[in-house]
Amino acid sequence: MALPEHESGSIRVTGEALKPVLDKAGLKLTDQLIEDFSVLLTGFEATVNSLPDDAAVQPRPDLEKYPRTDIHIPEDNDLGGWATKVTAKCTAPKNNLLEGRTVALKDNVALAGVRCTNGTAMVEWVPKVDATIATRIMDAGATITGKSVTGPVHNPYAKGYSAGGSSSGSGRLVATGSVDLAIGCDQGGSIRIPAASCGIVGLKPTWGLVPYTGILGLDATIDHAGPMAKTVRDCALLLEVIAGPDGWDDRQPPVELGGYQLDFVDDVDAVTALPKNTMLSGLKVGLLSEGFQIPGQDQHVVESVRSAAMKLAELGATVSSVSVPKHLEAPVAWACSIPASSPQGALLGNRHGRKQLDFSDRCELVSQKLTQAQFDALGPGASYMYLVYLWAQEHHGPKIYSKCINLLKAVGDAYDLALKNVDVLITPTLPDPPIRLPEAGYSQGPLNFMGKTLMLLANTSPFNCTGHPALSLPVGFSPAQDDPNVKLPVGMQIIGRKFRDVDCLKVAAAWEKAFDWKTM
């Protein structure tokens, strides 16, 4: 293909350069039109060339105030937990909410000077910015000690079994005590799934409560970042630190979230200070019937969660069954909508249509399509998503995404209607206990990894699409499906009204205070 001609530092677009573009688009223009558009495009190129460097307007960190040292890839990665180690902290924190605490960031969260792999070797990228939540964590007195792996990681309760994903490393590192707290990111369950698998607490906040600025995402409509911790109180504490608008993320209103609280710990403490049988007095809990009816669901998991949910009545809550038939439709719409559109932003860096911080330096590392080497570096989930995207663009166009977005609005409305009659909904987080990690890893091919994905996400992905807060709380153990002698954690999912994350936390904190999940 002929390239635009360069004259005295400027670019002149010729008809010879324009014709291949027209051919690829299936357009035919007269010679006169080609000449006219060539002149106009020459002006466009001159305008592009006149743009100033955007580095000056990016939120570059003050490395004297927020120094980071000892950046390295550890030889001992805690059975897959660590991607990169670092010591990053603030020399003059704004508060002491997290003083003395250590925190791991999922490896799609930008921390300037530290490689950001996003779980793939597709590109080698070291960001120059800090994610908003990374700055807030350091401003609260915590030390960021590394980036956690996204991918196959060993379960902390049984080596050889999955720690869940994709915030796998964050789940394991918290469970093993390698860090006090961690950040996970969730587009279909990726905070709650590893939390359930690893026996910790993980909250996918209300969509827009926590800024996603400086974080590699999948699709802005479903991207969530949130806290992972051993206890509900610590989960509430980390949420308190990272929540609130930052002026960059257009998912957040440009003013304070009027009417919605951004402090959570006091309410958690108030609930747990009450006598056991009054901790949840007046609260209405709905067992979401369809969440216990996932095809092929493990009955040990079902009974464990049902038993745990019924114990909320001992704490003063009213527990009843609630039906939302559209709950079973949501995972299908999620599965169709995401790969049909998301790779534009997630893999190709084309995150148009949003007002947010974009990684212009990373965009230079990818093009309008992946190279063979970039595709080969993807894991099974990302490679599947990219191929579905190519297929859908060729055979369906934008209709799938549009149709799914409309259907998912109706799903969200159905949850809102149910939540008018109850304060929270309950489901199992996962339909099954964690599976055994394949010995051959990704080399066994994508079918081996993707075969059970839709069912795995059946109870988690709907709330990414609707934006409701959802928390996973460990409530017991279940035998592994391939070995009854192996016991693995079970998570109970608590779903609340939008921006009522505190209700999820209060219910979880009361249950955690009253019962010992490890003896259930």
- The 10 Å Cβ neighbour count of residue 317 is 24
- Per the listing, tokens 């693995």 go with 488
Candidate list 166, 170, 342, 472, residue with the active-site label? 166
Tokens for 381, please give them.
Answer: 């989930």
- The encoded tokens of residue 365 equal 């590392």
Determine whether 320 is an active site residue: no
Write the CB contacts of 235 (distance below 8 Å, at least 6 apart in sequence): 201, 202, 203, 227, 228, 229, 471, 505, 508
Going from the C-alpha of 64 to that of each of 90, 100, 169, 451, the distances in angstroms are 9, 20, 29, 48
**Which helix (DSSP H) or strand (DSSP E) does residue 468 occupy?**
none
Distance CA 181, CA 231 (A): 10
Q: Please answer whether residues 433 and 478 qualify as being in contact, where contact means their C-beta atoms are separated by less than 8 angstroms.
A: yes
The residue annotated as part of the active site, out of 38, 89, 106, 498, is: 106
Angle at the Cα of 476 from the Cα atoms of 297 and 184, rounded to 5 degrees? 80
Locus of tokens 């249950």: 511
The type of residue at 291 is G
Residue 147 class from Cβ within 10 Å (0-12 exposed, 13-18 middle, 19+ buried)? buried
Q: Which residues of 386-395 are buried (b: 16+ CB within 10 A; e: fewer)?
A: bebbeebeee
**Residue that is written with structure tokens 């079973």 in the block:** 328
Write out the E strands in 73-150. 82-88, 102-106, 143-148
- Please report the sign of the dihedral spanned by the C-alpha atoms of residue 102, residue 106, residue 109, residue 113: positive
What are the tokens at 488?
A: 């693995």
Using DSSP's 3-state secondary structure scheme, residue 13 falls into coil
Q: Residue 166: is the preceding peptide bond cis (ω within 30°)? A: yes
Active site annotation includes 166: yes
From 167, 168, 190, 197, active-site residue = 190
Q: How many CB atoms lie within 10 A of CB 365?
A: 13
Per the annotation, the verdict on 402 as an active-site residue is no
Q: Which residues in 299-370 belong to E strands, given as ranges?
A: 318-322
Known catalytic residues? 106, 166, 190
